[in-house]
Structure 1
């Protein structure tokens, strides 16, 4: 048996056990052979290791305990919004970080108590605000002065007081991909730290809002603790000023964005946020304030606990490249196309020791040159019909998928130990087409022919 996912230190990436391992000649999800899943539900499909997700949550909660303050972990639903995923964390006491009414409703359906739900996002609508107020959530992470004014008006109409945390933009470089950086002055997120005095002055006049906390979130897939420390230090300084001004803060929200390893150590892509350094940064910066803390991890909890299972359709030799064409496509996993994201790709059948590797482009069947998972990736020889696993797709995989080219959505399967269950079935073509509606004039045109 060999471990597929490894940390840069050479140990299992999951704190309790490797989510995916080769055993008896084939890749398994925990104790379930992927070949068996492919036979049952077809490909492409997403497979999640539920036991590994929960083990990661427990390890994170334990590590954060070293800060010595009351802690609430609110799972960032956007990473993977399946109700089964959310419920697994809720059963361990997790809250939820949501950015839409849809995500809020999913969190509630999964059993997350409203008082453990944080509503973030720069574009909350009045209808979303009203629903969240009536639900009784923990707080709104407010991101602009205009949002505060609208929220105050909505709360006034409902006769309620809205709990608010001001999301601060600390102007800190998160050292991550530009499209997922959120804490620089040029980003759309948060209230510029220089605008805080004016924002606090406005809050004194908005009688339907209650300032409960301050929040910060500087980006996603952070693998260095230093940007966190810089952001948390600025938040701590602001918190002291706010407290000195006579405001009562109930907690600080330190956001999420913790990075995971996306590849093996041999290519330098396996960097992950060192948890001990992160916890130390939290303790050094905000620990002395004595305020309860809220954390919003998403990718960190689910990313490495998921994979996209696909089958090789063709192996095509071009003039200068060899292409491995899969039945999965960019509509199933858009991260490589959207972010130039790197995912480890492995055959499901365990390669022979010392198997020769060859550079191939791993691509999908969609009529776009951007439908590609990897350029010049070194893989052992594969043939049509072979199963392939694209790793670390538990976060921002299925949730960002589409039906481009009228392709059927990939089903989702969850395993725990030796058990497996289809948690989202693949629809058929008739069901997808039935969602379309013809205008009356075209219906009549069809009947006269």
Structure 2
């Protein structure tokens, strides 16, 4: 996001009261930025027969999903909740792909009845799908997820093509390749292969290597079948995001060029292609703004106690080396802070000592009433809050700009205390007491 554009949005949001004393932490989504990112994705891959889907988990908020549906994209979902959100956002079932390593029978039945594409994670799931298809016809495209076992990236937790990954059928285990060939031979309705090497921390070369392995497997399956049984390849997403500055790198164009070099046959029209990008479409098109409530000095270190912590930046707090975020400092009027930088910790409101979004960071001296901004948090941050300490889910607002005019629209309102109570079982307040015998009253 252009820094001047972001500064203008922050200033307008503060002056409009969208973040401040009444709303101490708020998420913001750049509608123009998302629209441009979708355009860049389409341009990068050209006219190849493709279904570009957005990974719902990256920003599982219905109005954001609606924006992607309106742009003509599909949606990748990984739970009944995400499927419901995708349908509510207006994605046609035939443009939805269901991925999950633990789909229930009910979840599969529902997806197959709708015609949602399903990528099976393992052979057990294939047996379940076979039983369901024998009972009822379905228009769903059925695929099998393959773990090409090409190795891990720099973040183990985000690497899904390592030797022991929980995802997919391992391609290089003894006997696995033949078992895959046998599965396709015995299931003529199995027409797609799926691969996702990983997300943040995986290089373009590693991702392309995994795609190459699955393309070669598709060729082998089709040769054995004597026909093109595998008609499409779901090559996943996983394009990493640069969190160091505002530059978008790598770009969709760079990734598409990497694929054209490593797997040129992908683009000859014989296979339909599916992508599942998430973070790379939204991360740089959103930010989190939070109020500085207090500041103090301890052990010679200045600490700013803010309302942005583990509940909205979970990955950064628990894996700071893997998920470092840039911090922007603004004054109480929403203007960029000036002055000499000083080492400071930026802490959140959660009640544990490690709730820090930045440690020993050089920033202009923060004061109570200032606003901090967590850059590049449009995906997996404020849209996926953690309810630790029963902290409220923050409001989310989308914005556009025409010239210097900033317009906002509420995407998700801030969670109320009444809603927190309802989620915590307040309407069942006597449930446990009702299980006690009459003579077990506490003294």
Q: Shorter-chain-normalised TM-score: which range?
A: 0.7 to 0.9
The residue number in structure 2 matching 1:388 is 372
For 2:312 and 2:302, the matched residues in 1 are separated by 22
1:27 matched to 2:4: no
What is the 5 A alignment of 1:48-447? 48-65=29-46, 68-137=47-116, 139-160=117-138, 163-194=141-172, 195-206=176-187, 210-222=189-201, 224-246=203-225, 247-264=228-245, 272-289=249-266, 290=269, 291-340=271-320, 341-348=323-330, 349-351=334-336, 355-417=339-401, 418-435=406-423, 436=425, 437-440=428-431, 442=433
What SS does the aligned partner of 1:60 have? helix
Structure 2 equivalent of residue 9 of structure 1:
none
- For the residue of structure 2 that corresponds to 1:171, the secondary structure is coil
CA shift for structure 1 position 434? 3.2
CA distance in 2, matches of 1:274, 1:224: 12
Q: Distance in 2 between matches of 1:154 and 1:255?
A: 26
Q: Would the alpha carbon gap of residues 369 and 309 (structure 1) be closer, same or farther in structure 2, given more than 3 Å must change?
A: same
Aligned residue for 1:398, secondary structure, equals: coil
SS of the equivalent of 2:90 reads: coil
Task: Give the CA deviation at 1:174.
Answer: 4.4
Give CA deviations for 1:36-55 in whole Å, capped at 9, x if unaligned: 22259612111111121111
- Unaligned runs of 5+ residues in structure 2 are none
Normalising to structure 1: TM-score of the pair?
Answer: 0.86
> Counterpart of 1:118 in 2: which secondary structure?
strand
Between 398-407 and 372-381, the greater mean CA deviation after superposition: 398-407
Q: Which residue of 2 aligns with 1:10?
A: none
CA contact 1:323–1:361 (8 Å) conserved in 2? yes
Q: Deviations over 1:70-95 (max 9, x none)?
A: 12100000100111111111111100
Task: Describe the shift of the 1:92–1:440 C-alpha distance in structure 2 as closer, same or farther (beyond 3 A).
Answer: closer
Secondary structure, in 3 states, of the residue corresponding to 1:434? Answer: helix
Query: 1:46 corresponds to which residue?
Result: 27
- Pick closer, same or farther for the CA change 1:351–1:110 going to 2, 3 Å: closer
CA RMSD of aligned residues (A): 2.5
Give 1:283 deviation, angstroms.
1.8
Give the whole-Å Cα distance in 2 for the aligned partners of 1:149 and 1:378: 56
Report which stretch shifted further, 277-286 or 183-192.
277-286
Aligned-partner SS, 1:185 = coil
Q: Once the 2 structures are TM-superposed, how far is the Cα of residue 347 of structure 1 from its aligned partner? A: 1.5
Q: Are residues 40 and 89 of structure 1, via their aligned partners in 2, closer, same or farther at CA, if it must alter by over 3 Å? A: farther
Q: Contact between 1:35 and 1:387, CA under 8 Å: does it hold in 2?
A: no
TM score, norm. by length of structure 2 = 0.88
d(CA) in 1 for partners of 2:169 and 2:430? 45
> Residue 47 and residue 142 in structure 1: after superposition, are their counterparts in 2 closer, same or farther (change >3 A)?
same
Task: Decide whether the 8 Å contact of 1:72 with 1:295 is kept in 2.
Answer: yes
**Cα pair 2:291 2:307 within 8 Å, conserved:** yes
Tell me if structure 2 keeps the 8 A contact 1:162–1:210: no
CA drift of 1:229 comes to 2.2
How far 1:420 moved relative to its partner? 0.8
